[in-house]
Every structure is written in C-alpha cells, then in structure tokens.
A and B are shown apart, each in its own frame.
Chain A
Amino acid sequence: MEAVDTQPVETIDFAPLEKVLKKFAGKKGAVIPLLQETQKIYGFLPREALLRIAEATNTEASHIYGVATFYSQFRLKPVGKHIIRVCHGTACHVGGAERITEACEEHLGVADGETTEDRQFTLESVACLGCCSLAPVMMIDDTTYGRLTDREAKKVLTHFKK
C-alpha cells in the first residue's frame, strides 16, 4: 500500500464530511462505517478527510490509517467514475476469469487495478461476488453481468460507454 503522503494534495469539500461526523458523534465502534460513508462522498479516502476524522473522533491518525489500509474496500487513491470489478472467485477462476480481466485490460487500455486516463473507469479484481452459478461475472458499479466470455465482456463495456 502506498503511503498517503506521496499523493497529490487535493482540496476537498469538508461540508458533507462534517455531516457524517455529526451522525456518528459519540457512537462507539463507528470508525469503519465512518470511513465507508466518507468513501461514498469522495470516491476514495483523501488524506485530509482521514486527518479530520482522527481529530473529530479523538483517535490517533495512525489508528484510522491502520483501519483504512487493512480492509480492501477502502481506497487511498482517487478512482474512476465507474468501477469495474471482475470476479476472481473459485467458480469464476475455473470458468476463465483471467480472460475476462485481460479482455477488460485490452479494451480499456489499463492494467488491473488502474484507472483510465479520462478517469471514467477503474478496473479491479475482486475475490467473490457470490454469483457463482453465472460465472464468470463482473460488476460495473452496482450491476452484475454474468455468463461472460471475453467478447461478451467487451460488448458490455462498449455498450456501457455509450
């Protein structure tokens, strides 16, 4: 995991974050939901937001950073407008998930884990989306596409871009 410091500093709008902080004020064990909602606002966890959360919850920044880097859901880098998650669960793996990732890489011109230059798409591999009987599958934002072939995957992407 890359250190937060190496990222370009982006100025963020704190107003929505303050609302979230207020919602969870005084609640115990709220760090993870707080980070989840913060990520919903910004698409990732900006350094400034993490520092603000640490301050507001009276927690060490290192603790917040520790939680943020432990869970795979959290991102410390900005992502594209749409997130493509190619499932690499067992059923998808034996069903050819690798080829689906390759097809997406080829179509988008980025490697797995990267974001397209126009910041439209981020390509990710995920462990299991739980749609095993439709393997191989991928998810774009909240929509799942199943029974894919490399061609089908490219078709979905082309269609989605429109």
Chain B
Amino acid sequence: MVNPQNGKVKILVGMGSCGIAAGAADVYHALENKIEIENLDIELEKTACIGACYREPLVEVRVPGLPAVIYGDITVKRIRDIFEKHIQNKEIISEWLLKGDNLQTSEDELFRKQVRIVLRNAGQINPERIEDYVARDGYKAIRRVLMEMKPEDVINEIKASGIRGRGGAGFPTGLKWQFARQSQSNEKYIICNGDEGDPGAFMDRSVMEGDPHSVLEGMMIGGYAIGAKEGVIYVRAEYPLAIQHLETAIRQAKKKGFLGKRILGTSFSFDISLKLGAGAFVCGEETALIASVEGKRGMPRLRPPFPAAQGLWNKPTNINNVETYANVPWIILNGSDAFARLGTEKSKGTKVFALAGKIKRGGMVEVPMGMPLRDVIFEIGGGIKNDREFKAVQLGGPSGGCVPASLLDTPVDYESLNQTGAIMGSGGMVVMDDRTCMVDVAKFFLHFTQEESCGKCTFCRLGTKRMLEILERITEGKGEEGDIEKLELLAENIKKNSLCGLGQTAPNPVLTTLKYFREEYEAHIHYKKCPAKSCRELITYRVIPDNCTGCMVCLRACPVNAITGAKKEIHRIDPETCTRCGACYDSCRFDAIEILTGEEEEVAGEIA
C-alpha cells in the first residue's frame, strides 16, 4: 500500500518496546538523517509492534509500483542497501524479506493464518497520531453507539457477539456490563485492567503501545452502556512506552472532542485517567486492583459484593482487560454476527498470544479461537528453536500450567484448555524444549507466586512457601520419599482455602507438571538426576577428549577459570571450581563438552 494521497515512498519503522530494545530507534534516526541530509522526498513514520518480534528491528518499505514489503533484522548498516537496491533500483532484497504483498516467503505462515481484530492496526498506524486511527475507522463505533443505539442495544450486541473476558477467567463481557448497568447509582466507573503481570505475556503492552485509541474507544462504549462518566486505566509502571502513548492518546482524544463533556454533541460525557501500578502482581485481581486505585495496599476482598455492585469508591464498576476493550469497537462496527462466526461454540472471536521461549518465531499473533496449539506453535510460530524437541508449552503464567506434546492438538478455547489443567489466561505462551527442566519451571512459578502472595490468606502465604521449599530441595538433589505427596496435599489445600484467584491457581504449575512430567520429579528425587540436564546441583560438565581440539575458546569463556589446558591440548574442567553456568557448553564449536547427570555423573567421576 503506497500512501494513496501522494504516491510517495513511505518507510515505517516498528518502534514498540521490543523493537526499540533490538535497535529500532537507531535505525529510525539513521533513516531520518539520511532523508534530511539528502533531502529525499520520502515519508518516514513510526509504528508500534508489527508482531514478528524475532526479526526486530522491522522496517516496512512502500515504493509505488512495488509490493509493500517488511524487512527484518534491519541494522543501521543495512539502510544503504534499502535505499540503493530497493528504492532506487526497485529490487526486493530477498535476504531480509519477511513479508510482502502477494509475495511468497518462507515466513508467510506467520501472518497468513492470523485473523487480526485486536491487532487490526498493529504496525499499520502511528499510535501517537489520532488521525491515523480515525483514518482506519477509529471512533466510528462510538459515533454509531451514541447516535443510533440505546445502552441496552449496546449490551445486547456485546452479549450476542459471545465475547468473554480476555484477562483469563473468560466471564461473558456482555453479562458483566448488564450487571453494572442494572446497579442503581448516579456514579459508576469503567476500569481497564492493564496490569499485565503474568511473566511471559506482553499482549496488552503491545495493544496499549500500538493502538491506544482502540482501548479508549472500547472503554467509552462500555461507559455509555453501563452509565459511567469516568474511566480509569490501571497500567503497569514497568511499561513506560505504553503509558506515554496512552497519555498522548487521551490528550488528543480530548482535543478532538472524543473524550470530555458532551461527546460528539450528545449528552454523553466521559473522561479517562491513568493510574500507574506500583509492582504488585495480585493487583491483576479486580478487587485488589480497586483497592490499589483507591491508594491502599492491593489486597483482594471477598466477593460478593462484586464490583458491578460495589467497586471503586463503593460504586458500581465494570472492569475488563485491555484486549477485551480493544475488541469492542470492532464488534460494534462489524456486527456481533461477524465476531461470533469466528471461534468455537463457547469461545467466540480471536485471541492474541505472545509467543516466547524456545520458539523460532517469537512475537505477537492473533488467531481464531479453536485453532489447535500445534498450529499456533508449529505453523505460525515455526516450531522449536534450533529444531530441538518440543517438550511443553506454558499457558496462563503463574495461574496456568504446562501442556505436553501429547496434547498439542488441544484447540485454544477456554474449556478445552481448562481440561488440560492449564488455562487460557491472558495469552502468554512460553514454549519449552528438551533442555527445560519441568521441576525447575514449577519452582520458578512457585517462587513468583510465593513472593507475590499478598499475605492475607494463610494457605496462600505459607503454603506456597512450603511448596517452594520442597521444590528447591528436589532440584538441589535433596528430595525425599513422600515429597510428591506432600506437594499434592499442599496444592489441594491452597486451592481450597485461598480467597482470590492468585492463591486458588498458584498450585497449577506444580499440578500440571506433576500430571504430565511426574517421572521427571521422580528422577530428581530417587536418582538425583535431572533428565533435562538443567538443575545445577545435579549435573557435571565434562570435556569429551575425542572431540576437543584444544582451541581455548571454552577456557576463555569460563567466568570462574575452572578450565585448564593449553593450545592444542585437551582441556579439563575442574568440577570443584565449576559453577555449572554452561558458558563452555555454549561456546564450544566442536561438541566437545557434555553434560552428565545422575548415574552417568558417578561413572564419569570414577573414570576421572
């Protein structure tokens, strides 16, 4: 798509947080400089996350007469080629090509299988310019709602679409709105939960960074539907760029009359403010979030009363997640039928996932509900990094679980994922390969929930601590007979005796790994062996004499000087000094370092 207004060459740089971290800002400035110095007639634009994070920095080039293409791995050095080859000579540089209109690339599948509703503007607009959003049907939905629909119509439309909360629990959004509408009060609130705390999830960050107006518009429609005049976005302080883009969006929307008093000349007034989270995972729970907005310690309280009856400042409040709100304008404009046609019987529409971990194409993808996990990971995500073996995918963060290879055909919908013991969650998908130890993963999540437990419920506060201690012992080779049973007993009691979702789901990572990878726990406990060769106390690094060329690379890579040997002399690792960091293993180019665990370790010890 060439800029239709003027037929000029246009260059877009993906400047989401990931892009910037990969060097996109340098690329942008270099482009800017070149265009200015050479006085080129080229439009340069910033956009946010395009979705193919694994190829960041991404640059899209639109030259009249050529298909629009997206290049990946663009560095400052490569800019010259883009100008000379692509823009001047009109040659597409296949080497860096990620995607092009009507062009086949090896990575096409990443985009072809996606259906983009929430990400409809991702990588297409400059999120800091309201005009870009408006040009892509932005604020048309709120116009339609205000001009043509009664609040009840809006609620019915959302109900008919079948959309359920994208924060994880999957409560029907329309019903939630209806409850808040039915609560009698002259003061109501709309809250957007942007406290994306699940480690391994970054969908909401990308939406807030890349298309902030869609979130604002969704909230406004929600406000009109339930009868609220004020909205609050609770966003993590760890997301500085999202905060900045939301602030800009609010300011621009106010200026254009989309926010504020008497919106679009109607009697509807609505205002939105930001509240920055201060780093407490439990604030993702709605009652804790409300306490935090009120300036208190973010501790959950018993429900009922639900926020729809008594929420912020004890007034009826509707809380939805970022992704849920971003869906709303699309549903209004395209109709509930169009939305409900996508997905499964009980899970409608699409879901955005953040693909990360040991996956080839890490990034942001949006797929129709019901797509099998296998397709998401292997077709869209391209499979496992370095073609290693798929072991499990972690869904739903600390509340979720690990789904093994045998269940890869599970469709992504709320019910099917629940059946595996994992949950849909907010959309983090962390892929693990054969080098990931499942006991260690369980320990990782328990460490997280144990730290983030607010301390209100005894079972959550102390039970997670006891579970963590057991897991720590197991990974250190000090596991005892009966540990697994103790873990199961604790898990059951923590689930039963915790007030909020954090405690109720905290044991899930342990329970799912016990369910699908029990033998790994047993190997740690009974044979002091880590099958993934990952737990440091249970492994030894050793040089394979036949393969070692004496090149000194590992010797230099070792941070603790545990490797001895001279040039062209077989090296030796001193197990006493070695910290098992794995730097030698990663640096060796001759496969001359092996990792031993359990009995192999003892045998090796005898030989040495």
Contact = CB atoms under 8 A, between A and B. Distances in A.
A67 B559 contact: no
B173 interface: no
A102 B581 CA distance: 9
Nearest to B276: A36
A143 B334 CA distance: 40
A102 B200 CA distance: 21
A130 interface: yes
Given A130-B238, A132-B201, A133-B354, 20 more contacts: A30-B295, A31-B296, A32-B292, A32-B295, A66-B297, A70-B298, A71-B280, A72-B278, A89-B200, A90-B428, A90-B430, A96-B582, A106-B559, A128-B198, A131-B18, A133-B54, A134-B21, A134-B22, A144-B17, A144-B20
Kindly state the interface size class of chain A when it binds its partner.
35 or more
6 closest residue pairs by CB, A with B: A133-B362, A133-B53, A89-B199, A90-B200, A71-B278, A132-B356
B583 A130 contact: no
Interface string B191-227: 0000011111110010000000000000000000000
Nearest to B586: A149
B278 A36 contact: yes
Kindly state the interface size class of chain B when it binds its partner.
35 or more
A73 B21 contact: no
A33 interface: yes
Interface of B: 17-18, 20-22, 53-54, 56, 196-202, 205, 236-240, 275-281, 292-298, 313, 354-358, 362-363, 394, 397, 428, 430, 432, 436, 441, 444-445, 448, 452, 454, 557, 559, 579, 581-583, 586
A132 B202 CA distance: 7
Contact of B201 (A66, A130, A149): A130
A29 B277 CA distance: 13
Nearest to A74: B278
A161 interface: no
Contacts of B294: 28-29
Nearest to A147: B22
A90 B275 contact: no
A72 B200 CA distance: 19
B124 to A, nearest CB: 20
Given A36-B276, A146-B18, A150-B559, A128 B582 contact: no
Given A127-B448, A132-B200, A145-B21, A150 B581 contact: yes
Interface of A: 28-33, 35-36, 66-67, 70-74, 88-91, 93-96, 99, 102-103, 106, 126-135, 137, 142-147, 149-151
Contacts of A103: 559
B238 A91 contact: no
Contacts of B281: 127
A71 B279 contact: yes
A146 B21 contact: yes
Nearest to A103: B559
Contacts of B579: 102
Nearest to B23: A146
A50 B20 CA distance: 36
A15 B89 CA distance: 61
A29 B240 CA distance: 22
Contacts of B298: 70-71
B586 A94 contact: no
Contacts of A132: 200-202, 354, 356-357, 362, 428, 430
B388 to A, nearest CB: 12
Nearest to A91: B356
B56 A134 contact: yes
A142 B238 contact: no
Q: In the complex, which of the residues A30, A32, A106, A149 has the most CB atoms of chain B within 10 Å of its own CB atom? A: A32
A133 B17 contact: no
A142 B390 CA distance: 35
Contacts of B448: 127
Contacts of A89: 199-200
A74 B237 CA distance: 11
A73 B436 contact: no
Contacts of B354: 132-133
20 contacts: A28-B295, A29-B294, A29-B295, A71-B279, A73-B277, A90-B356, A90-B357, A91-B430, A94-B357, A95-B357, A96-B582, A106-B559, A128-B201, A131-B17, A131-B18, A132-B201, A133-B18, A134-B22, A135-B357, A144-B20
A145 B198 CA distance: 20
A150 B583 contact: yes
A29 B312 CA distance: 10
Nearest to A31: B295
B196 A130 contact: yes
Nearest to B283: A71
B402 to A, nearest CB: 11
A72 B363 contact: no
Contacts of A72: 278-280
B449 to A, nearest CB: 11
Nearest to A39: B278
Contact of B559 (A36, A70, A102): A102
Q: In the complex, which of the residues A28, A36, A95, A146 has the most CB atoms of chain B within 10 Å of its own CB atom? A: A146
Contacts of A106: 559
A151 B554 CA distance: 13
Contacts of B237: 36, 73
A91 B54 CA distance: 13
A74 B436 CA distance: 33
A64 to B, nearest CB: 10
A133 B200 contact: no
Q: In the complex, which of the residues B21, B281, B448 has the most CB atoms of chain A within 10 Å of its own CB atom? A: B21
A73 B356 contact: no
Contacts of B198: 128
Contact of B394 (A31, A90, A96, A151): A90
B444 A90 contact: yes
Nearest to A130: B202
B276 A90 contact: no
A78 to B, nearest CB: 18
A145 B445 CA distance: 24
Nearest to B362: A133
Contacts of B444: 90, 93
Q: In the complex, which of the residues A30, A74, A99 has the most CB atoms of chain B within 10 Å of its own CB atom? A: A99
